[in-house]
């Protein structure tokens, strides 16, 4: 028989588990169950939820369109300094989102390096708009997608791409018909992570896009706002976000992580 | 039209320099030990690596990328696309080269039928056995009617029992293929059975070339002699005496002059506990350095002047109670020895 588990490890482990789970349980305990349905279908919650889903989904699309090719370049391109590029791509992953928001403002703001030209030439102003929300979310969430897809690409056997080449396929056709399908699990996992990260985005969004109900107030911003004026609404919004997170995790586990 | 290829690949610590000619319908086997450059040669021919210039019919493919070359490749582990059906795999090359879907599928189905797998058109490759996967890979490579067919160790991934059957099937398909075929292998049996001509590559250079029959009879390097299972020496002949380069003298039946190769089969060698008397034989003393059991014989490795391999019966092994380190007498009839000029 194995000896008993050492108390020195078991006690902090249980404390750690409680630390992670008790706040979530508290959220459920304190929930205003009676008024929940009305809260849930109130105009403010519905607006914030819709805006969140739309912005997170659009941000995910942006990440897919830009991130998958970037992952491919990092995994397959013969670039000098590829390691450095890979490290740079992951910076937004560890960067405080507020800093990301400030950086976006500096570049895309009205007086920003790029933003002033957008404003002058096209009359486009991104900060404090719904498009700004999408950009802020995409900036923060893209590394999740890139890392996931790049990992899958690097694990995929490049000889299949050579086989496709000997059959006369161009690199673009090979990418579409051979490479992409073979890394699909990685792309899906990355997309889900990316979407979940975008949905929960707070710091960069509030810095770059501000807080205008109906335009830029996404769920996390609404939670923060409601906490001061209507704590019950904050709890309801939080529970919705918690459920979405759990659903994402469950979906990932069953479909892609174990498989 | 004859296909001419000039392969020149330079890498640190390795260089490949190989000129190949392949006639239409001919199967040439590129045979060599690991690291000889066989796979590099195949990759250069396919355009997957720089340094493969090919000329055929007055046109030259040099520096042309893989997707522009009229080449079909059967890879060692087939590399069938796992997410596509067998039919889509075979049709892939046609689709990539612009054939319409319906027509590509019809051609692919015909190709599959030729290899006896039309019934598997709609399954995924993982449902296939190793032998079937190999046939699908062949059908896929041939679907675009390439001018040059390249086979990279096409039987290496199969187990011994299926190998025999798949080898003879592959031989039939290769005989039907009108283009030029290059087979890369390290298995002498595959090469002998499937190829019309052998090109033997060592360290990136051709060391011998000829029909399987000629190569088997007159090996020119230790590697080839080892492949075909012969004792092999270099020496200088004076009449019926050959002075071997690595020591020892052999008496031969047919007189010869000058530098020669000397071969004889291990089965021609007899072993005795003491010096045999009488009969005009070559006899010398040797020590057992290794014993290896084969199907019906025992191969004995002997150090001596010269060192020699001997195949003896299990009965003789028992009689002599062979142990590594034992000193024995080797005897060999002069008529068993074959010599040819270097």
Q: What's the whole-number mean pLDDT along residues B43-64?
A: 85
3 state DSSP class of B3: strand
Give the residue extent of every domain in chain A. 37-257
CATH number of the structural domain spanning residue B52: 3.40.50.300
Best residue of B96, B141, B154 to probe chain A, by most A CBs closer than 10 Å: B96
With cut-offs at 50, 70 and 90, classify the pLDDT of residue A259.
Answer: very low
Please say which residue of B226, B244, B269 terminates a domain. B226
Same domain assignment for residues B246 and B185: no
Q: What is the mean pLDDT of chain A?
A: 88
Q: What is the 8-class DSSP label of residue B268?
A: G
Extended beta strands in chain A, E state: none
User: Has residue A48 got a pLDDT over 50?
Assistant: yes
- Facing A169 at nearest CB: one of B73, B75, B96: B96
Tell me what pLDDT residue A190 has.
92
Contact B96 A170 (CB under 8 A): yes
pTM (2 d.p.) = 0.82
Q: What angle do CA B205, B207, B209 make, to 5 degrees?
A: 115
**In this structure, are B26 and B132 located in the same domain?**
yes
Q: Which one, of B66, B89, B234, lies nearest residue B150 by Cα?
A: B66
Strands across the sheet containing B52-56:
B14-22, B3-11, B52-56, B59-61
Encode pLDDT of A216-235 as tens digits: 899 999 888 888 888 888 88
Tens of pLDDT, residue by residue over B148-195, are 999 999 998 888 888 888 898 999 999 999 999 999 998 888 999 999
- Asked if B188 and B279 sit in the same domain, the reply is no
Contact at 8 Å (CB) between B265 and B230? yes
Q: Are B246 and B287 in contact (CB under 8 A)?
A: no
| Mean pLDDT calculated for residue range A35-59 | 86
B220 and B90 in one domain?
yes
Interface of B with A (CB under 8 A): 46-48, 65-69, 71-73, 75, 79, 81-84, 92-93, 96-97, 140-141, 144
Which residues in chain A are contacts of B71 at CB distance < 8 A? Answer: 166
Q: How far is B31 from chain A (nearest CA, A)?
A: 22
Return the pLDDT at A92.
Answer: 87
Asked whether residue B123 falls in the same domain as residue B261, the answer is no
Q: What is the mean pLDDT of residues B285-289?
A: 91
Whether B168 and B265 map to the same domain: the answer is no
Contact A130, A144 (CB under 8 A): no
Report the share of chain A in percent with pLDDT over 90.
50
What are the structure tokens assigned to A190, written together?
A: 């990355």
Pairing of strands B269-272, B197-202: unpaired
**One domain, residues B155 and B34:** yes
Residues of A in contact with B81 (CB under 8 A): 160, 163-164, 177-178, 181-182
- The predicted-structure confidence for A152-185, as pLDDT tens digits, reads as follows 999 999 999 999 999 999 999 999 999 999 999 8
B11 and B91 assigned to the same domain: yes
Does the distance separating the beta carbons of B92 and A164 come in below 8 Å? yes
A89-116 tens-digit pLDDT = 988 888 999 999 999 999 998 888 888 8
Identify whether residues B208 and B308 lie together within a single domain: no
pLDDT at B307: 92
Q: Is the pLDDT of residue A3 over 80?
A: no
pLDDT score, position B26: 94
In this model, does residue B280 exceed pLDDT 70? no
pLDDT given at position B56 = 85
The confidence score (pLDDT) of residue A49 equals 86
CA distance readout (Å), A38 to A28, A42, B88: 17, 6, 54
The CATH code of the domain that includes B256 is 2.40.50.100
Q: Hey, are the CB atoms on B46 and A178 less than 8 Å from each other?
A: no
Q: What pLDDT is stored for residue A254 in this prediction?
A: 63
Q: What is the mean pLDDT of residues B314-338?
A: 88
Taken in order B231, B232, B235, B239, the sign of the CA dihedral is positive
* Co-location of B205 and B274 in the same domain: no
For strand B281-293 and strand B327-333, is the pairing parallel, antiparallel, or unpaired?
Answer: antiparallel
In contact, B146 and B71? CB cutoff 8 Å: yes
Q: Do A168 and B144 touch (CB under 8 A)?
A: yes
Q: Are residues B194 and B286 in the same domain?
A: no
Cβ–Cβ gap B82/A159 under 8 Å? no
In angstroms, rounded to a whole number, what is the distance separating the alpha carbons of residues B245 and B227? 21
Same domain, yes or no, for B219 and B249? no
A183: which chain B residues are within 8 Å (Cβ-Cβ)? none
Task: Tell me the range of B46-50, B107-111, B268-272 where mean pLDDT is highest.
Answer: B107-111
Selecting from A164, A167, A182 the residue whose C-beta is nearest the C-beta of B144 gives A167
Residue A162 CA to residue A144 CA, distance in Å, equals: 28
The CATH number of the structural domain formed by A37-257 is: 1.10.3720.10
Domain end residue (candidates: B226, B244, B275): B226
**3-class state of residue A116 by DSSP:** helix
State pLDDT tens for residues B61-99.
Answer: 887 888 989 999 999 999 999 999 999 999 999 999 999
- What is the predicted pLDDT for the residue at A118? 84
A interface mutation test: which of B61, B81, B95 has the most A CBs within 10 A? B81
Does A257 have pLDDT greater than 70?
A: no
Mean pLDDT value across residues A180-194: 91
* Confidence class for position B122, pLDDT limits 50, 70, 90: very high
- Any idea what the Cα angle at residue A59 is, between residues A80 and A52, rounded to 5°? 150
> What is the rounded CA–CA span in Å between residue B18 and residue B201?
9
pLDDT for the residue A258: 47
Residues in A closer than 8 angstroms to B68, CB to CB, are 168
Q: Which domain holds residue B213?
A: 3-226
Count of structural domains within chain B: 2
Q: Which of B179, B210, B226 is the last residue of a domain?
A: B226
């Amino acid at each position: 028989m194995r000896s008993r588990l050492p108390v020195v490890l078991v006690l902090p482990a249980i404390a750690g588990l409680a630390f992670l789970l008790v706040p979530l349980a508290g959220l459920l305990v304190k929930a205003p169950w009676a008024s929940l349905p009305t809260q849930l279908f109130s105009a403010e919650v519905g607006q914030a939820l819709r805006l969140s889903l739309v912005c997170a989904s659009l941000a995910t699309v942006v990440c897919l369109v830009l991130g998958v090719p970037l992952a491919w370049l990092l995994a397959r391109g013969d670039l000098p300094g590829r390691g450095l590029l890979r490290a740079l791509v992951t910076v937004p992953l560890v960067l405080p989102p507020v800093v990301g928001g400030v950086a976006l403002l500096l570049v895309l703001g009205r007086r920003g390096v790029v933003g002033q030209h957008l404003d002058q030439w096209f009359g486009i102003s991104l900060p404090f708009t719904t498009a700004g929300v999408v950009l802020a979310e995409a900036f923060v969430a893209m590394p999740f997608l890139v890392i996931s897809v790049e990992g899958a690409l690097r694990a995929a056997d490049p000889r299949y791409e050579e086989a496709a080449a000997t059959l006369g396929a161009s690199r673009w056709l090979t990418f579409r018909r051979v490479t992409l399908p073979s890394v699909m699990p990685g792309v899906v996992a990355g997309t889900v992570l990316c979407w979940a990260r975008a949905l929960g985005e707070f710091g960069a969004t509030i810095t770059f896009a501000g807080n205008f109900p109906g335009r830029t107030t996404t769920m996390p911003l609404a939670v923060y706002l409601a906490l001061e004026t209507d704590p019950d609404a904050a709890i309801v919004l939080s529970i919705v976000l918690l459920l979405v997170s759990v659903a994402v995790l469950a979906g990932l586990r069953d479909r892609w992580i174990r498989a | 039209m004859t296909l001419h290829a000039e392969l020149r690949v330079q890498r640190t610590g390795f260089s490949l320099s190989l000129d190949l000619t392949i006639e239409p319908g001919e199967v040439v086997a590129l045979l060599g030990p690991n690291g000889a450059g066989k796979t590099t040669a195949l990759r250069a021919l396919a355009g997957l690596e720089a340094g493969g210039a090919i000329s055929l019919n007055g046109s030259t493919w040099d520096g042309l990328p893989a997707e522009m070359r009229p080449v079909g490749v059967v890879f060692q582990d087939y590399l069938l696309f796992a997410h596509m059906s067998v039919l889509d795999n075979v049709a892939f090359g046609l689709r990539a080269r612009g054939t319409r879907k319906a027509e590509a599928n019809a051609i692919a189905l015909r190709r599959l039928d030729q290899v006896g797998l039309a019934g598997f058109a709609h399954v995924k490759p993982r449902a296939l056995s190793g032998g079937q996967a190999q046939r699908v890979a062949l059908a896929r490579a041939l679907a675009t009617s390439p001018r040059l067919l390249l086979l990279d160790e096409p039987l290496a991934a199969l187990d011994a029992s299926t190998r025999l059957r798949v080898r003879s099937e592959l031989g039939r398909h290769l005989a039907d293929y009108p283009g030029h075929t290059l087979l890369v292998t390290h298995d002498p049996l595959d090469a002998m059975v499937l190829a019309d001509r052998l090109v033997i590559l060592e360290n990136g250079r051709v060391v011998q070339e000829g029909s399987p029959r000629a190569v088997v009879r007159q090996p020119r390097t230790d590697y080839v002699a080892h492949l075909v299972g012969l004792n092999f020496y270099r020496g200088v002949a004076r009449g019926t005496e050959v002075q071997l380069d690595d020591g020892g003298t052999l008496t031969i039946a047919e007189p010869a002059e000058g530098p020669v190769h000397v071969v004889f089969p291990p089965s021609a060698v007899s072993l005795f506990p003491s010096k045999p008397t009488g009969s005009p034989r070559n006899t010398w003393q040797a020590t057992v350095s290794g014993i290896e059991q084969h199907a019906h014989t025992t191969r004995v490795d002997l150090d001596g002047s010269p060192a020699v391999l001997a195949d003896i019966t299990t009965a003789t092994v028992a009689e002599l109670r062979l142990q590594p380190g034992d000193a024995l007498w080797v005897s060999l009839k002069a008529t068993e020895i074959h010599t040819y000029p270097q």
